[in-house]
Structure 1
Amino acid sequence: MIRRMAQLTRKFIDIGANLTDDMYQGIYHGSKKHDPDLPLVLERAWEAGLEKIIITGTSLSDSKQALEAAKTNENLYSTVGCHPTRCNEFEEDPDQYLANLMTLAQDNQQKVVAIGECGLDYERTQFCPIDVQKRYFEKQITLAEITGLPMFIHCRNSGADLVDILTPHRENISGGVVHSFDGTLEELKLILDLDLFIGINGCSLKTEDNLKVAATIPIERLMIETDCPWCEIRPSHAGHKHIKTSFPSKKKEKWEKGVMVKNRNEPNCITQVLEVLAAIRGEDPDLLGNTVYNNTYQLFFSKDK
C-alpha cells in the first residue's frame, strides 16, 4: 500500500542519483533481467514531488553519460568529476584527463551544477591507492576553483585527510556538500568547520550511532539524497522504523511496469530519508523538507534566480 501523507505538497531535490547505472536499463551484474525503465523511474520521481535531480558523474566517461541524460529533461542536471576509487584513470595522461573534465564542465554550464563526485575512500583502496586518490582529489579541487562550481564530495573513513586537503583551498571554492555522510561526530565537526553541507541518504541511517550523528547536523547545513540505485533504507537499518511511506515492489525477475524493483533504490524514495530525519530530530517533516530544499537550491541553483 502506498501511503503518501503530505508528500505531494513537498518539493525535493535529489543531490545524488546514479541514473546512468545499468540497473535502470534492466541489467544486473551483466545479466539482462527486464526492459529499460528509466522513464518510469523518473515518472515516479516527479509524482513524488521531485523538482530537480542531479545525476552523479563518477569518471570522465560516466560524466559524459550523466550530462547526456541530463539534457533529455529540463529537471535533470549533472556533476562532472572522478570518484576516488576510479582515480587510476588519471594516470595515463593526468593533464589531458583533467582538461577533458574542465571542458565538459565549462561547455555545459546550463546543466553541470557541481564538480564531483570526487574525494577520498579509504574503505576500498583495492581499487585505487590512497596516494593516487589524494593527488587527484586535489587536482579536481582546482576545477571547482576555476569554474566557480560547488563540489560534490565523497568521504569514506578519510575525514581528517579530506579536511586537510580541502582547508588550504576553502576560500577559493564556492562551497560543497559531503554526500552520503556516515562519519563520526568528530568528523562531522571537522567538515562543518569548513562551512560545507552534509548529504544524508539511506547509508547514513544504518545504525543507531548514525542516527545520533544525523540528529545533530545543523538544519542550515543539511541536504538529502538517495544515491540510487544504492543506499536504500532497508528493514535491517536502524532508521527503517521511522519510515511512513512505502512503495510496492517486485523482484527484478518479476518486473512489472509501474512497480519498483525490490532492493533497487529510486529518487522517489527520498521522501523516506526526510521521514527518518524528521523523526530522529523531532522536527516537522514539512518544515524540515522546506529548509533542506532551500539549502540545496541555494548551493546548486541560486544562479537560476
Structure 2
Amino acid sequence: MTTTDTPSFLPEALCFRPREALVDIGANLTHESFTRDLDAVIERAQKANVTTMIVTGTDLAHAEQAVAMAERFPGLYATAGVHPHDASRWSDELARQMAALHRESAVVAVGECGLDFNRNFSTSAEQEKAFEAQLALAAESGLPLFLHERDAGTRMQEILKAWRDDISRAVIHCFTGEAKTLYGYLDLDLHIGLTGWICDERRGHHLRPLVKEIPLNRLMLETDCPYLLPRNLPAKLKGRRHEPALLPWINREIAHWMGLEEGALALETTRTARDFFNLDTASQES
C-alpha cells in the first residue's frame, strides 16, 4: 500500500477525541490521495478534536488549492510558498504571484520554503536564491515563515541570522535534527514543529530526549500527512495514508517523552499555534 490509497474509514481503535482541541500546523491536504474523500477526512479530524488544520502550499498550484480549501472549510488555513525541491522554478513573476497570495486572508504563513541539501532536486545556489526571496516576502507581508530544512542546518541558521531582525516569526516544520541544530534554532527564537517521526522507533529515538529541551511556547504539532504515519498506533490501517485525525496519537507520544499530561501538552501547543499564526485575527478577517 502507498500514501495514494484512500481508506474510507479509520479502525475504531484509532479514533479517540481528546478533551483539548488540537491544531495540525502542517497537513498536505492537496495531495492526490485526499482527492476522493477530503470531506470525510476533515470530518474525522473534527471528530478527533483536531479543530484547526493549516494546509501546506509547496508551489503555486498547491498554494492556490490550499487557499481554495481554506475558503471552503471552516477551521482550515493555508500557507503559500515554494519548496526547495522546486527552487529552480523561482522567477520574478512567481514572486509577484506569491506576494498576491500572501495578501489573501486565508494565508497565514510564507512557505513551505527553506533548504534541502539531502536530495538536491534544485542546486544549493537555486535554493538559497528562492529562500532569500521568500524571506523578503515574509518581511514585506509580516507573515510568519513555515520552514523546511534537511541536512542544511548550518547554512539555514546563517541565512536566518542575517534576516532575523526583518522577519516576524518562523517555525522549523517537521524537525528531525540533532541537538546542536535544535539549540541553534532555539537561539534564533524560532519555533519547532514535531511530527509522527518521534513515534518511529527505527529513526526517531534521538528526538525523544530532546523534546524536553523545547519550551512549550515554541512547540507545535503536525501530521505532515499523508506522510509519516505514526508507528505507535494500536491498530493497522488498510492503507498507509496519514491524516489529521491521527494527530492525537502524536500528541500522546510527545507528552510521554516530555513527562506531561496529554491535555496539558494539547492546551499549550494549541495556544502556541493560534498565537504564532495569528489565527484569531485570521478567523475574523475570513
Q: What is the TM-score of this pair, normalised by structure 1?
A: 0.84
Query: Structure 2: which amino acid aligns with 1:88?
Result: S
**Quick one: structure 1 residues 3 and 133, their matched pair in 2 at CA, closer, same or farther if it must change by over 3 Å?**
closer
- CA drift of 1:75 comes to 1.1
Deviations 1:212-231 (A, max 9, x none): 22232222211000000001
**Quick one: structure 1 residues 204 and 157, their matched pair in 2 at CA, closer, same or farther if it must change by over 3 Å?**
farther
Deviations 1:248-279 (A, max 9, x none): 732xxxxxxxxxxx210000111011000011
Contact 2:18/2:248, CA 8 A, preserved across alignment: no
Contact 1:14/1:224, CA 8 A, preserved across alignment: yes
Paired with 1:112 and 1:248, the residues of 2 have a C-alpha distance of 35
Sequence identity, in percent? 34
**Quick one: structure 1 residues 4 and 222, their matched pair in 2 at CA, closer, same or farther if it must change by over 3 Å?**
same
- CA drift of 1:96 comes to 1.1
Pick aligned residue for 2:182 from 181, 188, 202: 188
The answer to whether 1:11 aligns with 2:6 is no
1:276 is paired with a residue whose SS is helix
Query: Structure 2: which amino acid aligns with 1:274?
Result: N
Query: Structure 1: which amino acid aligns with 2:176?
Result: D
- CA drift of 1:2 comes to 2.2
Aligned twin of 1:287: 264
Q: What is the TM-score of this pair, normalised by structure 2?
A: 0.89
| Residue pairs, 1:74-113, within 5 angstroms | 74-90=74-90, 94-106=91-103, 108=104, 110-113=105-108
Paired with 1:4 and 1:37, the residues of 2 have a C-alpha distance of 17
| Residue pairs, 1:1-305, within 5 angstroms | 1-2=12-13, 7-25=17-35, 36-90=36-90, 94-106=91-103, 108=104, 110-125=105-120, 127-206=121-200, 207-234=204-231, 240=232, 246=234, 249-250=237-238, 262-300=239-277, 301-304=279-282
Contact 2:24/2:221, CA 8 A, preserved across alignment: yes
- CA drift of 1:81 comes to 0.2
* Structure of higher RCO (CA pairs closer than 8 Å, 6+ residues apart): 2
Query: Structure 1: which amino acid aligns with 2:85?
Result: T
Gaps of 5+ in 1: 26-35, 235-239, 251-261
2:228 is paired with a residue whose SS is coil
Contact 2:84/2:115, CA 8 A, preserved across alignment: yes
Contact 2:14/2:246, CA 8 A, preserved across alignment: no
Gaps of 5+ in 2: 1-11
2:113 is paired with a residue whose SS is strand
Contact 1:205/1:211, CA 8 A, preserved across alignment: no
2:214 is paired with a residue whose SS is coil
Query: Structure 2: which amino acid aligns with 1:144?
Result: A
Paired with 1:97 and 1:129, the residues of 2 have a C-alpha distance of 18
Deviations 1:73-113 (A, max 9, x none): 121110010000111111xxx2111111001111x1x2000
Paired with 1:205 and 1:143, the residues of 2 have a C-alpha distance of 35
- CA drift of 1:52 comes to 1.1
2:208 is paired with a residue whose SS is helix
Deviates more, 1:156-165 or 1:209-218: 209-218
Aligned twin of 2:9: none
- CA drift of 1:208 comes to 1.5
